Structure 1
Amino acid sequence: MCFIETISPDQATDCVEILYQRLQGSKNYLPNYARVFCHRPTLMAQIATLMEALRGTMSPRLWSLVNLAAARASHSSYCSLAFANTLIGKHFSEQELLLILRDDEQAPLTATEKAAMHYAGLVATDASRICREDVATLKACGLSDAEIFDVTAAAAWRCFFARVPDALGARADESLTRLDAALLQRLLVGRPAEANQHAAEHPGKARPELPG
Structure 2
Amino acid sequence: MYVKTVPASEATGEMAQVYAADIASMGRVMRATECWSARPDMLVPVESLLHHMRDGFSLGLLNFRLITFIAAQHVPSSYCSHVYFKTLSGMIGRDRTLAVHRDFRSAGLSELQVEMLAYAQQITVDASKIGPGNMDALRRVGLTDLNIADIALAASFRNFMSRYFDAIGASVEPDFLDADPEVREKLSVGKD
Report if TM-score (shorter chain) is over 0.5: yes
Alignment correspondent of 1:39: 38
Contact 1:85 1:176 in 2 (8 A): yes
Whether 1:67 aligns to 2:68 is yes
Contact 1:98 1:182 in 2 (8 A): no
Contact 1:19 1:41 in 2 (8 A): no
Task: Tell which deviates more after alignment, 53-62 or 21-30.
Answer: 21-30
When residues 71 and 105 of structure 1 are mapped into structure 2, their CA distance, relative to the original with a 3 A threshold, is closer
Contact 2:15 2:43 in 1 (8 A): no
Q: CA offset at residue 12 of structure 1? A: 2.5
When residues 95 and 52 of structure 1 are mapped into structure 2, their CA distance, relative to the original with a 3 A threshold, is same
CA distance in 2, matches of 1:106, 1:51: 29
Letter in 2 for 1:180: D
Alignment correspondent of 1:160: 160
CA distance in 2, matches of 1:142, 1:62: 15
Q: How does 1:8-27 map to 2 (within 5 A)?
A: 8-27=7-26
Q: CA offset at residue 105 of structure 1? A: 6.0
Whether 1:136 aligns to 2:173 is no
Alignment correspondent of 1:101: 101
CA distance in 1, matches of 2:41, 2:18: 8
Task: Tell which deviates more after alignment, 124-133 or 17-26.
Answer: 17-26
Alignment correspondent of 1:127: 127
Alignment correspondent of 2:177: 177
- Please, what TM-score do these two structures have when normalized by structure 1? 0.82
Q: Which runs of 5+ in 2 are unaligned?
A: none
SS in 1 for 2:26: coil
Whether 1:52 aligns to 2:40 is no
Q: CA offset at residue 93 of structure 1? A: 1.7
Q: Percent identity?
A: 27
Alignment deviations for residues 111-149 of structure 1 (CA, whole Å, 9 cap, x no partner): 111111111011111111112212211111110122111
CA distance in 2, matches of 1:104, 1:52: 25
Letter in 2 for 1:119: Y
SS in 1 for 2:139: helix
Q: Aligned-residue CA RMSD in angstroms?
A: 1.8
Alignment deviations for residues 150-206 of structure 1 (CA, whole Å, 9 cap, x no partner): 1011100111111111101111111100343343233211111xxxxxxxxxxxxxx
SS in 2 for 1:37: helix
Aligned residue-pair number:
190
Contact 1:20 1:34 in 2 (8 A): yes
CA distance in 1, matches of 2:172, 2:65: 17
Q: CA offset at residue 24 of structure 1? A: 2.6
Q: How does 1:186-201 map to 2 (within 5 A)?
A: 186-192=186-192
When residues 24 and 191 of structure 1 are mapped into structure 2, their CA distance, relative to the original with a 3 A threshold, is farther
Bigger RCO of structures 1 and 2 (CA < 8 A, at least 6 apart): 2
Alignment correspondent of 1:147: 147
Q: Which runs of 5+ in 1 are unaligned?
A: 193-212
Letter in 2 for 1:54: M
